[in-house]
């Protein structure tokens, strides 16, 4: 059975023929049941991404209500990913230049990656590793002390849990609502620690020349150190979920290939590139219209949301890098993401993890935009 709709496609076993048909036959349409416009063709997605009225957050809710007030709301609201203010463009350019510079310095060091967390032993360990490894990698790239990498990974996972819980705030009741309330409390504390840790690092003795330059350039542009530090935490945050999906889907692909699993970095990078093409970790993103707009002859009203199906655009234009977004909010982390995923994949396979066994039993986490396998779970019992 093909997916019922584009959100269902994210966790479907093989959504790619559906995505190809969507991009071809339904470039932009309204899905009344989902209460979303859906853009699937590269031209429609580009038109929306370019439109000044297309915002990354709903106008009335710049930060998820469930996080407010508190340190998690403050952190979220400062991320360049989550706002379209004038400061966004200035800080985004500085962050992109910083990532490029750090990446270049990292590549000069021909040592085995020291950032990798301990290799996992079982399915539950793999599930944790998928989320931890990308954050450890990014923390290392930021120059944070190795003793802080695990704390960063823990806090990002807590913060992410709070963001997801806040998105479910109106749909849960009873024990689930209580668990989500606890997740939000934990996420508030984690956000406060992340902000403090990265502020200390920005002005601390381990700050690299590139990081100090980022701080100085930001100060010159009138951007406060707290804002820069929040966005360093933002780099950890952005790398986490998409990185988990990239590594997880690579393990599944390696497991399905059996004996041809990659043993060298070159082969690992080739496999990661294939995953980005054939089974990507991120399938869609959203925009919210601040004013009525006319696109492809259709009128999208102010306040309406558009689902941009990047994975469908990638079927129509496989070489265009759609999985990393485009235009104003395009991802500045594609190069490190690819490199870190290859290192982590080799590490896991080298530690003797049985990828074929993992690929034989997994499900996808129930997320609306990221495709992340989960290897440790109980079969649902039917009444
Ligand atoms: C597999 C890995 C990754 C994928 C698939 C991915 C994908 C994306 C996409 C699609 C967007 C745009 C979202 C939108 O326009 O609504 C984005 C934004 C962003 N990504 Fe990534 N990303 C990945 C890894 C990373 C890493 C490792 C970093 C950090 C170095 C990073 C940093 C960012 C930032 C800061 C933004 C916001 C940019 C802005 O709003 O201007 N990403 N990413």
Q: What is the pLDDT of residues 330-350, one digit of tens each?
A: 999 999 999 999 999 999 999
Q: What is the structure's pLDDT at 382?
A: 52
User: How remote is the CA of residue 360 from the centroid of ligand 1, in Å?
Assistant: 30
Rounded Cα–Cα distance for residues 194 and 71 (Å): 10
pLDDT greater than 50 at residue 367: yes
Q: What is the structure's pLDDT at 263?
A: 87
CA angle 149, 353, 103 (to 5 degrees): 40
Give residue 121's pLDDT band: very low, low, confident or very high (50, 70, 90): confident
Q: Return the ligand 1 atom nearest residue 141 CA.
A: 30
Rounded Cα–Cα distance for residues 311 and 302 (Å): 26
pLDDT greater than 90 at residue 118: no
User: How remote is the CA of residue 338 from the centroid of ligand 1, in Å?
Assistant: 12
Among candidate residues 27, 2, 22, 21, the one with its CA nearest the CA of residue 12: 2
As for ligand 1, residues whose beta carbon falls within 6 Å of it are 56, 80-81, 92, 99, 138, 234-235, 238-239, 242-243, 246, 281-282, 285, 310, 323-325, 329, 331-333, 336-337
Domain ranges of the chain: 6-374
Q: What is the pLDDT of residues 210-249, one digit of tens each?
A: 999 999 999 999 999 999 999 999 999 999 999 999 999 9
Give the β-pairing of 36-39 and 305-308: parallel
Q: Return the ligand 1 atom nearest residue 287 CA.
A: 16
User: How remote is the CA of residue 361 from the centroid of ligand 1, in Å?
Assistant: 29
User: How remote is the CA of residue 171 from the centroid of ligand 1, in Å?
Assistant: 28
| Structure tokens belonging to residue 308 | 């941009």
Q: What is the structure's pLDDT at 63?
A: 97
Q: What is the structure's pLDDT at 64?
A: 97
Give residue 109's pLDDT band: very low, low, confident or very high (50, 70, 90): very low
- Choice among 18-27, 51-60, 251-260, 355-364 with the minimum mean pLDDT: 251-260
pLDDT greater than 80 at residue 91: yes
Neighbouring-strand partners of residue 306: 37, 287
Q: What is the pLDDT of residues 284-333, one digit of tens each?
A: 999 999 999 999 999 999 999 999 999 999 999 999 999 999 999 999 99
Give residue 380's pLDDT band: very low, low, confident or very high (50, 70, 90): confident
User: How remote is the CA of residue 324 from the centroid of ligand 1, in Å?
Assistant: 6
Share of the chain above pLDDT 90, in %: 88
Q: What is the pLDDT of residues 150-192, one digit of tens each?
A: 999 999 999 999 999 999 877 777 888 999 999 999 999 999 9
Q: What is the structure's pLDDT at 129?
A: 97
Classified by CATH at the fold level, domain 6-374 comes out as: Cytochrome p450 (1.10.630)
Q: Whose CA is nearest to atom 15 of ligand 1?
A: 329
Q: Return the ligand 1 atom nearest residue 56 CA.
A: 16
Q: Whose CA is nearest to atom 18 of ligand 1?
A: 331
pLDDT greater than 60 at residue 57: yes
């Amino acid at each position: 059975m093909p997916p019922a709709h584009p959100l269902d496609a994210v966790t479907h076993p093989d959504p790619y023929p559906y995505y190809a048909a969507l991009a071809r036959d339904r470039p932009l349409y309204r899905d009344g049941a989902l209460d979303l416009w859906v853009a699937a063709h590269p031209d429609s997605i580009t038109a929306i991404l370019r439109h000044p009225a297309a915002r990354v957050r709903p106008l009335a809710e710049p930060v998820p209500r469930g996080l407010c007030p508190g340190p998690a709301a403050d952190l979220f609201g400062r991320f360049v990913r989550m706002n379209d203010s004038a400061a966004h463009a200035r800080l985004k350019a500085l962050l992109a230049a910083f990532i490029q510079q750090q990446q270049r310095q990292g590549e000069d060091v021909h040592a085995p990656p020291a950032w990798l967390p301990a290799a996992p032993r079982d399915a539950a360990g793999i599930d944790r590793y998928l989320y931890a490894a990308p954050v450890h990698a990014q923390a290392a790239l930021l120059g944070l002390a190795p003793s802080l990498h695990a704390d960063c990974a823990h806090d990002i996972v807590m913060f992410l849990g709070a963001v997801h819980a806040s998105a479910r705030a109106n749909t849960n009741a009873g024990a689930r609502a209580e668990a989500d309330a606890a997740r939000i409390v934990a996420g508030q504390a984690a956000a406060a620690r992340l902000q403090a840790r990265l502020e200390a690092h920005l002005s601390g003795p381990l700050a690299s020349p590139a990081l100090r330059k980022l701080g100085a350039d930001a100060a010159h542009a009138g951007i406060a150190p707290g804002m820069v530090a929040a966005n360093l935490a933002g780099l950890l945050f952005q790398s986490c979920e998409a990185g988990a999906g990239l590594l997880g889907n690579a393990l599944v692909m390696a497991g399905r290939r059996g004996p041809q699993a990659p043993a060298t970095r070159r082969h690992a990078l080739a496999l990661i590139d294939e995953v980005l093409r054939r089974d990507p970790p991120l399938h869609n993103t959203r925009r919210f219209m601040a004013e009525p707009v006319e696109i492809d002859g259709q009128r999208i009203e102010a306040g309406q949301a558009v689902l941009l199906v990047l994975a469908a655009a990638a079927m129509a234009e496989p070489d265009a890098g759609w999985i990393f977004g485009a235009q104003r909010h395009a991802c500045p982390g594609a190069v490190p993401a690819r490199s870190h995923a290859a290192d982590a994949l080799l590490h896991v396979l080298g530690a003797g993890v049985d990828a074929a066994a993992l690929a034989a039993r997994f499900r996808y986490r129930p997320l609306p935009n990221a495709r992340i396998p989960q290897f440790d779970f109980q079969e649902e019992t039917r009444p």
